[in-house]
Chain A
């Protein structure tokens, strides 16, 4: 039985990071009986089901849940909620989710107010033609000022907040009102005809160890049923549907998915490339006429090389990447080889957190040990012969004599901060070659708009911003254009041998400082060896910074008797294991974390 359109509400929960989206989702699931008290017991943010999400307390992947809600008017509605991530690196997940539904719950922390991603996400929702319910969360906190924040929402965002719902997602206070507001204020699907040919949006897909590829769809017209042969209109791939069903959030099989609804299908899909998010799914024998507009593909902004620690794991890495790519269409990879690291992949990410998370997932979910090289943005090289080429990897930089100009990507950043930290943040932006575009006030907070080179932002700008502002500033950005820059390639030499995985392009004026900080960092990251190790930064043949790791002087077990041998051997075996996580450069072993840790510049 399909739910009539009038009784369906599809919505995303959007907010700045940590404003309580996933916690609100918990409460909504609980109130609608999606999970009972026992199943919720002791759990928080049940939709954050990856280990990595639980550990970091953040949502990485959007999740969809179908709930049945009996409203005050006695009618039962089907609610499809999508919990989205808040971190700027995952903005693509948000934009996709918004495209698949008609309404949004805009959650705003009533103690913090409007933040940079609040703005970025709500503008996206408005762009997607959404009706918006404003939810002021965390009213249980002593610092909460819901009335003031309500005004702020109206003032800064310019939307009507007169019907805003005030809640505590943590205690559950006010959450029933959210459900009523969803039914009253959000629209049902705008179109949907069960008799028309099948037209469904491929919202997401991921790989499940037991079921294979699972595809999340939003049906527009027609009905999706088990046994149907479907066709992906973009890729042309055809598959018979094996299972259909819903997430409640438990995975429940159902006979069909009707118009206006979200659900999942499985269809023994083998090819990663066959399930492209944003594609239109139709029935092969009775196709729809017009495909949906599709999503704008995600633009990777940071690239780095990922190499297996053990060269024998290369094929495993390739297949793991294929599977992970199914889970996360916003990351890309292609094979590369490096003199020092052997065979691996050059991968594109939406940001540094995204990079860290993909690396960690590859290591944990697929049991691989990886080395990540220095992340880099995509440079554009204007060659002396007039040609233009992209540079994803500083190690591949051609002879400088052949290059006429190097262009680098710039972003426009929006930063919201309490006035107190404005000075520090202005200095940070200035140090990072920023150009101020605007400075205005949102209540007592400054809203700063800056143009910045992406390369100055990617590595640790966010961390620095957080530390300067004691966590109070928020930040959002988008790519704008490419601009020419006075960039040079800086190489790092460890024990007199160049380590290509650490070479990078830097602005000439910043080179010396960066070189110095990098050498200092490496000094801390590379363990002492039995001999001293010089670390140098160089531009061309010129050394611009150097540090020395002194030789180890004392490392010997004082007493060792017959009975200790087993213990000592086990220790040695562990040490050997540990060494596998290091990379040998000449005589020096560099721990794999060093490659990425070294680039977090700290106080610069």
Chain B
């Protein structure tokens, strides 16, 4: 593992937009196909898109690669290999950088995992989501706890690094039940865990069901209690939060996600992927066509699936920096914000928020949200961004 030098870095994100089934809470760009997907064609399209991106970013050294989804563990190892080769063909990829692949515990077979490893993947992130079968069924997942544990074991054996995801703050989940499940999860964990509170996203089946009052999620007070409990338990276990929902043994943070939150540069390759990087002297946003086959057609016909590429104004950058940076325990570098926003935080507002115990300074150059501030971060950011 390479040492984190604190720099934002340059990441490459690749989006695999297919899943075996659609989970009822999910609003990611994921699609179910009943015909086999032509992986070679997609690999070729990824290659073309990357070559185009390379023209725009210029030569750069990659700090991490992330294969996300959808369900990238539905990719054949050869496809993964082809895509990683394409990254290396366009940019400098130093040995040993973090290369993550998101995997669903269902689509695991030992041979695939070995194939990914051989292709260069050194970290997997498993979508475990829950450690009891009733909740897994509620979440519409295709795996059970036994399968999840098998996948964890196998991944630990094959990959140097492993993380898994849980979704909590589920309907009727008590503090006691969650604490027990969380402790169990920590027992299985390697050095990284992602713990997300269930969010009801517009347009998903859960949204309609929730609105129809078919189930209820914890009210803000209970949700806050669950969150605080999570912080305490993970910290005691040596897996403190380094971001709102991400926990790691210090030093084992996800380099790739740090790039997002440190507001670094990244290219986004594949359907619906976003990128943010400096082109010329301007920081730009790229957004790709979401629909997989349309994206494919666009790349094949025009050489790119990018549908919009706006330049960010510096105050938009300032807002984004704040939005992402304050999610991190390490907070933001105040000077960087001030330079982009072309103004400082209002001293009176800042001292009030400090007095309320919501933000704190680290030395005289960084600002971060306290644990209390983290629980109301969206309101905090809105207040600071004014």
- Are A566 and B285 neighbours in the complex by a CB distance under 8 Å? yes
Specify which of B194, B220, B275, B285 is in contact with A553 (CB 8 Å cutoff).
B220
- A554 touches which one: B220, B353, B382 (CB < 8 A)? B220
List, in ascending order, chain A residues with CB within 8 A of B383's CB: 530
Interface size counted on chain A using CB atoms at 8 A: 25
Interface size class of B (residues with CB under 8 A): 35 or more
Are B376 and A557 in contact (CB-based, < 8 A)? no
- A-side contacts of B272, CB under 8 Å: 563
Instruction: Using CB atoms, name the residue of chain A closest to B227.
Output: A554
A556 to B323, CA, bound (A): 11
Q: Which residues of A contact B68 (CB under 8 A)?
A: 561
Partner of B380, one of A530, A553, A568: A530
Task: Evaluate whether A557 and B266 lie within 8 angstroms (CB atoms) in the complex, with A552-B379, A563-B274, A573-B319 already known.
Answer: no
A54 contacts chain B at the CB level, 8 A cutoff: no
Tell me whether A562 and B376 are in contact in the complex, defined as CB-CB below 8 angstroms, given that A553-B220, A554-B223, A575-B382 are known contacts: no
- Residues on B with beta carbons closer than 8 Å to the beta carbon of A553: 220-221, 223-224, 375-376
Q: Which residues of B contact A552 (CB under 8 A)?
A: 220, 376, 379
Query: Is the CB of B287 closer than 8 A to any CB of chain A?
Result: yes
Contacts of B358 in A (CB 8 A): 530
Q: A586 — nearest CB in chain B belongs to which residue?
A: B352
Residue in B13, B194, B386 whose beta carbon sits within 8 Å of that of A562 in the complex: B13
Chain B hits for A123, CB < 8 A: none
- What per-residue 1/0 map shows which CB atoms of A563-596 lie under 8 Å from chain B? 1011011001101100100000001000000000
B376 to chain A, nearest CB (A): 5
Interface centre among A561, A563, A566, A568 (most CB of B within 10 A): A563
B356 interface residue per 8 A CB criterion = yes
Check: B47 CB closer than 8 A to any chain A CB: no
Residue of A nearest to B383 (CB): A530
Known A553-B376, A566-B274; contact A558-B196, beta-carbon cutoff 8 A: yes
B142 at the interface (CB under 8 A from A): no
> Which residue of the partner chain, among A529, A555, A561, A576, contacts B260 with CB atoms under 8 Å?
A561
Is B316 located at the chain interface by the 8 A CB criterion?
yes
With a cutoff of 8 Å between Cβ atoms, the chain A residues found around residue B221 in the complex are 553-554
Cβ of B197 within 8 Å of any chain A Cβ, yes or no, is yes
Q: State whether B276 touches A565 (Cβ < 8 A).
A: yes
Whether B273 is near chain A, meaning CB under 8 Å from some CB there, is: yes
Check B229 for interface membership: any CB of A closer than 8 A: no
A560: CB under 8 A from chain B? yes
Chain B residues near A560 (CB-CB < 8 A): 244, 260, 323-324, 327
The answer on a CB contact under 8 Å between B244 and A555 is: no
Q: A530-B380, A563-B272, A579-B386 are in contact. List 9 more A-B contacts (CB 8 A).
A: A553-B376, A556-B376, A559-B194, A562-B275, A565-B323, A569-B316, A569-B323, A573-B319, A579-B382
Q: Which of B's residues lie within 8 Å of A, judged by CB?
A: 11, 13, 68, 194, 196-199, 220-221, 223-224, 227, 244-245, 257, 259-260, 266, 268, 272-276, 285, 287, 316, 319-320, 323-324, 327, 352-353, 356, 358, 374-383, 385-386
- A residues with a Cβ closer than 8 A to B are 529-531, 552-563, 565-566, 568-569, 572-573, 575-576, 579, 587
**Can you spell out 10 A-B residue pairs with CB atoms less than 8 angstroms apart?**
A552-B376, A553-B220, A554-B227, A557-B244, A559-B245, A563-B272, A565-B323, A566-B287, A572-B319, A576-B385
